[in-house]
Amino acid sequence: MRLLLILCIIISITACDKAPQTSIRFGLSNAPVTLDPRFATDAVSARINRLLYRSLVQFDENLRPIPDLATWEKMNLTHYLFHLDQTGRQFHDGKRLTAHDVKATYDFILNEKSESPHRGGLGMIQTIKVQDDNTLEFTLNKPDTLFPGHLSHGILPQQLVTAKHPFNTQPLGSGEFKFLDWPQSNHLRLQRLKDAQIIEFIEVKDPVVRVLKLARGELDLLQNDLSPELITWLEKRPELYVRKRKGSNFTYIGFNLKDEVTKQLTIRRAIAYALNREEIIRYVLGDAARPASGFFPSTHWAGNPNLGSYDYDPERAKKLLATVGINEKQPAHLMYKTTNNPLRIRVATVIQHQLAKVNIQIDIRTYDWGTFYADIKKGRFQMYSLSWVGITTPDIFRYVFHSESLPPAAANRGRWENKRADQLIEQAEAALTLEAQANLYRELQMHIFEQLPYVPLWYEDHVLAANLRIQGYELAVDGNYDGLKQATLGKE
């Protein structure tokens, strides 16, 4: 209540006449890390790159692969032809996008020396041949019924790939938005090609300041990373509107499985039973989430509706911990890393309190996003919490859990080595039908649920807060920024 009163006072004191705005200003909690799709793994970078670059394949609302730049033919189990569309294939410098550009992009990702984090997900590609400017031939080293869905990376110009152009700060794509400038790390500008509408992405780390800027008209829209109190306050502002949509982004606790404490399954299971997810969702997240048991909701075609859940059971957690010598007199001590986002700190604090009840003492360490993310990728942690965003196909399991998928080439950040998981991943990839593959992935998800390299937490909802003059922006189930393709800026 005190926070909301302070906000109202600040708004009244600082209200002033403002010059009319011609750009759409999108407030971010974190700036993008890179504008090079070959290296982007953080959510903001991936979402902005979707606007800048086109890819061979996109996904429909049911997460099935559909053509973007190209259609495809499955010639046999390991042989695909991709045919580029005749229209809409132009880079922002005016040059035509051809099959040679596609090959150069994927050759770079597949080159071990390039250290692209997406290389691990494309290991089934044996050769890429250009038949002509409009046609490519992909030959696989093993059958993969989901192969087209792997080809969703933004395409770069061959000439600039060869010249080692700095796409990370000077992107050149073929998407519906082109890069204008990035004069400061916290201020990026794009331009929508169809009508020259300028979009400004402005990083404002503090959520209270971000909300104040929205209310004062210094920002036009915010998406996610807002506490329930701030959302409630925004809903009462007559010049703003708030919309919500159920999301599919998977939030979890990750563990270092080489650490002497967190490598113990008993301890991870105790942590799973000690967490009161419903309490956190209700009181910290404002009911803007659903409990999760795995990467995919049960409604996904490869989701497993039989996973069950780790219901809140602190007594069971204590009994499990007692079997490995952890009790009130000899508690466990773990370090938990998170970002310095206030909402994430609040979640971490509640988790700290809940685990203390079962004799696990948590030391919370908070960092700015860049430092935190670098530590996670390098394995410098015991426990941490993050979300996987934009997951569409179950090839994510190789990328995250196969014992060969270590950073920087992939994302097995906990260094999990499990022969059964590897076997199921490989069998699923080799399955000849979608049904057989789905069944194997469901079995894999049950195995992951039982072995807990991650403790599943929830699927967070998406929240949009915008000025009334912003029209046409629609929230996506995975939280992407594609709504900017249709968003318009009305009169003040």
pLDDT in tens, 413-449: 999 999 999 999 999 988 888 889 899 999 999 999 9
Cα–Cα distance for residue pair 199/182, rounded to 1 Å? 12
Q: Which of 248, 192, 232 is nearest to 26 (CA)?
A: 192
Spatial contact of 375 and 381, defined as CB atoms under 8 Å apart: yes
Q: Which SS3 state, helix, strand or coil, does residue 152 take?
A: coil
Pairing of strands 454-460, 125-132: unpaired
192-196, 312-316, 339-343, range with the lowest pLDDT? 339-343
Amino acid at 157: P
Residues 6+ away with beta carbon under 8 Å from 185: 31, 203
Task: Provide the CATH topology of domain 58-159.
Answer: Dipeptide-binding Protein; domain 1 (3.90.76)
Give me the residues paired with residue 178 across strands: 191
Q: What is the pLDDT of residue 13?
A: 42
pLDDT in tens, 105-161: 999 999 989 989 898 889 899 999 999 999 999 999 988 888 998 999 999 999 999
Q: What is the CATH number of domain 2-10+20-31+185-246+462-489?
A: 3.40.190.10
Give the containing element (helix H, strand E) for 5.
helix 2-14
Spatial contact of 165 and 35, defined as CB atoms under 8 Å apart: no
At the top level of CATH, the class of 250-460 is alpha beta
Instruction: Specify burial of residue 139 (Cβ count, 10 A radius: 0-12, 13-18, 19+).
Output: middle
Extents of the domains making up the chain: 2-10+20-31+185-246+462-489, 58-159, 250-460
Give the end-to-end CA distance of the chain in Å, rounded to a whole number. 30
Cα–Cα distance for residue pair 245/52, rounded to 1 Å? 25
Q: Which SS3 state, helix, strand or coil, does residue 241 take?
A: strand
Cα–Cα distance for residue pair 221/200, rounded to 1 Å? 11
Spatial contact of 177 and 199, defined as CB atoms under 8 Å apart: yes
Spatial contact of 290 and 459, defined as CB atoms under 8 Å apart: yes
Q: pTM of the full predicted structure?
A: 0.80
Q: What is the pLDDT of residue 4?
A: 52
Give me the residues paired with residue 460 across strands: 289
Q: Confirm whether 2-10+20-31+185-246+462-489 and 58-159 share one CATH topology.
A: no
Residues 6+ away with beta carbon under 8 Å from 266: 320, 321, 323, 324
